Amino acid sequence: MPNSRLLLSTGNAGKVREIRAILGAAGWEIMTPREAGVALAPVAEGGRSYTENAISKAVSAARATGLPALADDSGIEVDALDGAPGVTSARYGGPSMRDDHARNALILRQLEGVPMSRRTARFRAVVAIALPGDRVFTREGVVEGRVALAPQGANGFGYDPIFLLPDGRSMAEVSADEKDRISHRAIALAALRPLLEELRA
């Protein structure tokens, strides 16, 4: 498919940078909605799983534009909170939690007094690509870790500052290049890349 364009169903600058870094050599012109000159209607993330939410966003974008569309859904799952926030990670705590800092602070308050041995958690991401005609493919990535006692690092976004990798660094303390290799979204996108290359051939 010469001059193949792949529409990203997101305006999140951090996600756009990561997706382009990981999939940039797959042979597609990766475009944001603004770059493609389209306005996508918001899609409510009301699914019961990351997969449902990612597919819903990708299919909606593909139907609206006629372009192949890529979407993702991801979150942090904290074992001591029975897997919360999970699929509600982006809106955890309700409307009063207006930014990443507030949501991170909420989780840390909920885990006050919980020892490090019981602060196990994981980042999970599902990416979906929808092709015109509602052909859909998904891939998943998971990274195991723990919730820190306090935020660490200034890189990244979302829950990165409170998510500790096995070596003790938070996801917000790794470089962008390293994150593009080890993050949950990176793992899912890397698994999707062979398919994108095949579709592009």
Catalytic residue from among 72, 73, 160, 180: 73
CATH number for the domain harbouring residue 141: 3.90.950.10
Q: Tell me the pLDDT of the chain averaged across its residues.
A: 91
pTM of the model: 0.91
Is the pLDDT higher at 88 or at 41? 88
Q: What is the DSSP letter of 67?
A: S
Q: What is the pLDDT of residues 144-180, one digit of tens each?
A: 999 999 999 998 889 999 999 999 999 999 998 999 9
Is the pLDDT higher at 144 or at 33? 144
One-character DSSP codes across 5-46:
EEEES---HHHHHHHHHHHTTSS-EEE-HHHHT--PPP----
Which pLDDT score, from 0 to 100, does residue 95 have? 85
Q: pLDDT-derived band of residue 201, with 50, 70 and 90 as boundaries?
A: low
Domain boundaries, position 120 = 5-200
Question: In three state form, how does the secondary structure of 153-191 look?
Answer: CCCCCCCHHHEECCCCCEHHHCCHHHHHHHCHHHHHHHH
Number of domains in the chain: 1
Is 72 annotated in the active site? no
